[in-house]
Amino acid sequence: MIRFLQTPGPIKKVILGGLLTIICVFMVITLVPGFGSSNFFGAGTPQRGVVATVAGNDITSLEVQKQARQMVRQQFPKGGAQVSMLLPFFTSQAAEQLIQRDAVLAEAKRLGLHATDADVREELQHGRYAEVFFPNGNFVGQAAYEERLQQADLTVPMFEQSVKDDILIEKLRHLIADSALVTDAEVRSRFEKDDTKVKFDYAVLHKDDTLKTIHPTDSELKAYYDQHKTSYANSIPEKRKISYVLIDTEKLENEARIAQADLQSYYDQHRDEYRVPEQVNLRHIYFKTPLPGPDGKVDQKGIDAARSKAEDVLKQLHAGANFPDLAKKYSEDTSSAKDGGSLGWVRRGQFPSPEMEKAAFSLPKGGSSQVISAGGGFDIIHIDDKQDAHLKTLDEVKAQIEPILRQQKATQAADAEAAAVLNQARTSGLDKAAANKGLQVVTTDFVSRTDSLPGIGNAAQFMDAVFNEPEKSPPDEVQLPQGYAIFNLLAVKPPATPTFEEIRTRVENEFKQERATALLAQKTRELSDRAKAAHDLKKAAKELGATMKTSDFVAPDGQVPDLGSMSGPAAVAFTLKPGEISGPIDTNTSGVVLSILERQEPSEQEFAAKRDQIRDALLQQKQAELFGMFVTNLRAQMEKSGKIKINQQELKSLTRQQGGEDEGE
């Protein structure tokens, strides 16, 4: 998977994007308040390696880690230092999404919903994968289909089951969300809210100008420090000194040796994944027929002309013409024509028409068909090769199996080495344990939670473990994206409260900001009061030294200099009538008062043009909210009934996240 993700190209984006599309819907649902609560497993010790059980189905740590890494790589395809920092967050999200996905799948099956092979074919041919597997409506062929899945480290059964699951979730979503309704009044209200425009004068008082007038004395600053001393308590963060060694899984993977017996054993256990169905390698010459008109009638003359053209090409073929040359010249399937009409390997059930499939499997190798109906046109096909259903040999799939075994061996070796180093470090010290394994010990100076460490980077889960470790505790281990870290806490420098002299600059800045904010609010209120009293914003602005400006006509989603987004505090402009003056508006960097000049209501013609678009947007919003509520309630019910059980201990060992995030905020 790593090599595939590092290889640029549109195919991987479509395949992985499709696989993650449905599951990533649940990232939004996770943010619903109160959603995502979790319980420990029932009586007994939580099962190691299992993050959760949903309706009897285990979600393993490996599944969660794999999903998290896919999510990170999809968001950050170029990698970078931020990847290791974000992985714990994505790990938590991945666990939640997999739990929610399994819950929804279990409910869909309970309701009797099904996803058939025919549904999968329809999705592959006309859904999000059509561009990859059916360009221009034509199947790429079985060999290309399998090859593209192998590039994504996916087997055909694995991929098609994932597609079935997506279809099942989508069927349930439609079942729940299709009850959502949008009224005409809601459409009209949204239209008027979003499309009304206003033009206004506005007076601006800048906070920076106010700051320049504030010159606090030392006594004022000391008094401010004393008044706010509790906010400075322990503001010098705790620091810790540690030593650690890294066990690199990638290095172990490169060193792993795969024996023939290992390959054979894996192959024997996964034979079903390497079965090849009966298939043909074929070419075709395609002739389009006209589509039915608006009245549903077909142009028979156009159909007859297409058939006649096909019959003429067939005569040339019978006269000895070369099939690929004829395909390049006459075929109206442009994607295959350039390759001499080649469709590659195609198996049963993947042809556009029964007639074409029947002809393909009845022809001998090297044979060509008569003119046949092909769904939307006519076809002449030629069989380059045929292949009976068979099992791929070990030699054929060896290159596919070997990386999987290397990763498995590296993971096992890393687990064993980490356990050995940790055990010896606890008895004989980290230096001796590292020396026995040829590992380098890194010893830091005093570091804070947010510092970057050699070989680890900014790893919140590692720092969380380090800063939660009691003083004088024995060495401990942390699992990282790149393997394991065995660390030893050497010393702790507790948090401290700085003296006034140590943070005088900070105190002065906070004093000035607080005073400037208060003065600006006071002056902006005075500006508004004067303008309203005199019914003249320009006069009040001149008296108080504010800058006058005039906006263009602006919509609710627009931007105005010194005001920023009109969807923020300045949205009050859309509640005022021409001639009205607003109260004080705080933009954080300035104080503003505005006076409405004109109000431009949208026209009926604009409403007619946008009505359907607005209705669709509102409907999608309501459907998403409805399905989100359904999943929230489903999750709560399944947890209450014990159908969802969360292994908090395993989840915490995967993420080790919360403490580190809080500290950094």
Instruction: Give the start-to-end residue ranges of the domains of the chain.
Output: 2-180+619-664, 197-235+503-600, 239-264+395-493, 278-388
At 356, which helix (H) or strand (E)?
A: helix 354-362
**What's the CATH number for 2-180+619-664?**
1.10.4030
Whether the pLDDT of residue 425 is over 50: the answer is yes
pLDDT, position 308: 94
Which architecture does CATH list for 278-388?
Answer: Roll (3.10)
Q: What is the pLDDT of residues 567-625, one digit of tens each?
A: 889 999 999 999 999 999 999 999 999 999 999 998 899 899 999 999 999 999 999 99
**Band of residue 117 on the pLDDT scale cut at 50, 70, 90:** confident
Share the mean pLDDT of the chain. Answer: 85
- pLDDT-derived band at 77, boundaries 50, 70, 90: low
**Higher per-residue confidence, 138 vs 573:** 573
In this prediction, residue 157 has a pLDDT band, given cuts at 50, 70 and 90, of confident
| Weakest-pLDDT range from 75-89, 373-387, 554-568, 586-600 | 75-89
Burial class (CB in 10 A: 0-12, 13-18, 19+), 558: middle
CA-to-CA distance for 584 and 581, rounded, in angstroms? Answer: 10
Query: Tell me, what's the pLDDT at 403?
Result: 85
Q: Which of 467, 342, 483 is nearest to 416 (CA)?
A: 483
Q: Which residue has the higher pLDDT, 115 or 207?
A: 207
| Sign of the C-alpha dihedral computed for residues 477, 480, 482 and 487 taken in this order | negative
Top mean-pLDDT range of 51-60, 257-266, 517-526: 517-526
Residue 24 has pLDDT above 60, yes or no: no
3-state secondary structure of 286: strand
C-alpha of 656 from chain center: 21
Confidence at 82, pLDDT banded by 50, 70, 90: low
Q: Give mean pLDDT, residues 225-243.
A: 93
Query: b/e for 223-249, b at 16 or more Cβ within 10 A?
Result: ebbeeeeeebeeebeebbbbbbbbbbb
Q: What percent of the chain has pLDDT over 70?
A: 89
Q: What is the pLDDT of residue 31?
A: 39
- Tens of pLDDT, residue by residue over 320-350, are 999 999 999 999 888 788 889 998 888 887 7
How high is the pLDDT of residue 6?
A: 32
Task: Give, in order, the Cα–Cα distances in Å from 550 to each of 206, 417, 426, 547.
Answer: 16, 70, 72, 10
- pTM over 0.75? The answer is no
Res 203 pLDDT > 70: yes
Q: 169 pLDDT band (50/70/90 cuts)? A: very high
pLDDT band at 85 (very low <50, low <70, confident <90, very high): low
What share of the chain in percent tops pLDDT 90?
50
Residue carrying the six token digits 């290309």: 144
pLDDT at 560: 95
Average pLDDT value for residue range 375-391: 88
Average pLDDT over every residue of 545-558: 95
Using one digit for the tens of pLDDT, what is the confidence trace for 465-506?
Answer: 999 999 989 999 998 888 899 999 999 999 999 999 999 999
